Structure formats: structure tokens, C-alpha cells
Amino acid sequence: MASAYSRVYVFLLHRWWVAFVLLGIVFVLGGLLTLNLLHTLSANFEFLSMCGVEAVRDGGLRQLIEIVVSGYFAAACYVVFKLCEKVLVERLIMNKGSDS
């Protein structure tokens, strides 16, 4: 079976320490982004529903868009985290197999 791994995956597999550092960075960044996301989103929905057009004029719609973008960025951090996790686990498995 031909290898269908991406260049990023192969790069991280050969440079496991980069994957380890990147894993730590996106873990912290994703945690900070999602820390209070649901509470802020529900407060924004409540503000928009209670104040209507006035809330839109005061920036409620812009804040809603910023919250959604922040959520997608947090999801991207999770995807990068899982990629780094897969690289590090496979690196450990390869090293374990070559030692025996």
C-alpha cells in the first residue's frame, strides 16, 4: 500500500521534537480559546434576543461573528493537537519495535 501521508505529517514524524513543542502550544492556545466560549456565546445570544436591533448597533452581531471564528480556531487547534499526538505515538511505537 502506498503511503498517503501529508508532507506535514512526514515532517513532524522525522522531527518529533517539533511535534512535541507544537502539541504543547496548541494545547494551551486551544484551552485559552475555549475557556469561556459557551458562556460568552449564550450571553451574546441573550443580548441579541433581548435588545434586537439596538444590540446589533452596539456590536452584538460583530461579537457573535468573533465568537464563532474563535470557536473554529479552537477546533483547528484541536486538529493540530491530534496530528501531533498521532505523530508522537507512532514515533514511540517505531522506537519500541526497533529496540527488540
Domain ranges of the chain: 32-90
Amino acid in the structure at residue 78: Y
What SS3 state is found at 6?
A: coil
Whole-number pLDDT of residue 97: 61
Segments of the chain with pLDDT less than 70 = 1-4, 96-100
Whole-number pLDDT of residue 99: 53
Nearest to 29 by CA among 82, 76, 84, 93: 76
Half-sphere exposure of 33 (CA within 13 A, CB side): 19
